[in-house]
Chains A and B, each alone.
Chain A
Amino acid sequence: MAPLANYLVLAAILFALGVWGVLRNRNALIIFMCIELMLNAVNLTFMGFSAYLNDYSGQVFVFLIMAVAAAEVAVGLAIIVSIFRHKENVNVDEINVMKW
């Protein structure tokens, strides 16, 4: 395997890309995709440490994170569909009723 630091740096860059995407994009769907990117970066870190330490616990956590990510996407997309029914829009700048 490549050195552990490679995986950690790759995961860090991927996570930062996801953060950048969440801050930059206004389309709720793309923001969700960027959250998926961040979750994958965390998974990559877990897998890197799991292989490095030769411990399966990291893989179990990746398994659990995948399940939670699936649940999160199902609920989140349902919320987006519901919002779209009310407002005909998925621009997060215009979904601001909850802000005040």
Chain B
Amino acid sequence: MANVIFYILAIIVLACGFMVVTRKNAINAALYLVVAMAAIAGLFAQLGSLFIAALQVIVYAGAIIVLFLFVIMMLNLKRDEFGFDSRLFQRLFGLILGIIFIIQLILIVSRFRPGLPAQAIDPAMGNAAAMSKKLFMQYLYPFEIVSVLLLAALIGAVVMASKRKDR
């Protein structure tokens, strides 16, 4: 049963990922990306961590895609500016390099032999309380640094996107 759900979600993720890559229209790509993100959230939930799954939906499918759509709306590209035909050699080399890359990755994964035996999932796994204990005790400094990074990104985005009057 778990395998069936995994395969269904995996097919959705890969199909939508493929559509994101091959769409010319940025809005279509963004909407396919939402479906891919939601399916990945489903995979996370299937792994037992509901907190991260909820976070995936809120942050990616919610915030990030909305940001993308807002920017697409703001740029107000004309219809013929939506899709750019990449040059043939770019497509060709992109495809060839992608295939080489995937072969390498699958070779690495197939050589991987996990040293530890598979353990049954702890029923408490994905429990937000257990994760936040780890986050706020062992990983407190990375957490604080990441919050400063978010603040810096916020200020940077405002500075860069605002119109400069001195020019």
Asked if A64 and B143 sit within 8 Å, CB to CB, the answer is yes
Q: Please determine whether A51 and B40 come into contact, CB atoms closer than 8 angstroms.
A: no
Q: Which residues of B contact A78 (CB under 8 A)?
A: 156-161
Q: Which residue of A lies closest to B74 (CB)?
A: A81
Docked pose: A8 CA to B138 CA in angstroms: 26
Question: Among A10, A29, A70, A90, which residue has its beta carbon within 8 angstroms of that of B13?
Answer: A10
Q: For residue A74, give the distance in angstroms from its CB to the closest CB of chain B.
A: 4
Query: Which size class do B's interface residues fall under?
Result: 35 or more
Q: Interface majority SS on A: helix, strand, loop or mixed?
A: helix
A99 at the interface (CB under 8 A from B): no
Tell me the chain B residues, 31-75 only, with Cβ under 8 Å from chain A.
33, 36-37, 40, 43-44, 46-49, 51-52, 55-56, 59-60, 63-64, 67-68, 71-72, 74-75
- B77→A75 contact, CB < 8 A: no
Q: Is the interface of B mostly helix, strand, loop or mixed?
A: helix
The answer on a CB contact under 8 Å between A14 and B156 is no
Q: How far is the CA of A26 from the CA of B21 in the complex (A)?
A: 11
Q: CB-CB < 8 A to B74: which residues of A?
A: 81
Interface residue ranges, B against A (CB under 8 Å): 2-3, 6-7, 10, 13-14, 17-18, 20-24, 26, 29-30, 33, 36-37, 40, 43-44, 46-49, 51-52, 55-56, 59-60, 63-64, 67-68, 71-72, 74-75, 77, 81-87, 90-91, 93-95, 97-99, 101-102, 105-106, 108-110, 112, 114, 116, 118-119, 121-122, 125-126, 130-131, 134-135, 138-139, 142-143, 146-147, 149-150, 152-154, 156-161, 163
Q: Which 7 A-B residue pairings sit nearest by Cβ, starting from the closest?
A: A20-B98, A23-B94, A71-B153, A21-B21, A12-B105, A16-B102, A24-B94
A–B complex contacts, Cβ < 8 Å, 30 sampled: A1-B2, A1-B46, A10-B13, A10-B14, A12-B105, A13-B106, A16-B98, A16-B101, A16-B102, A16-B105, A17-B14, A24-B91, A26-B85, A30-B21, A48-B47, A56-B134, A59-B49, A59-B52, A59-B134, A64-B143, A69-B64, A70-B59, A74-B67, A75-B157, A77-B161, A78-B156, A78-B158, A79-B160, A80-B75, A90-B75
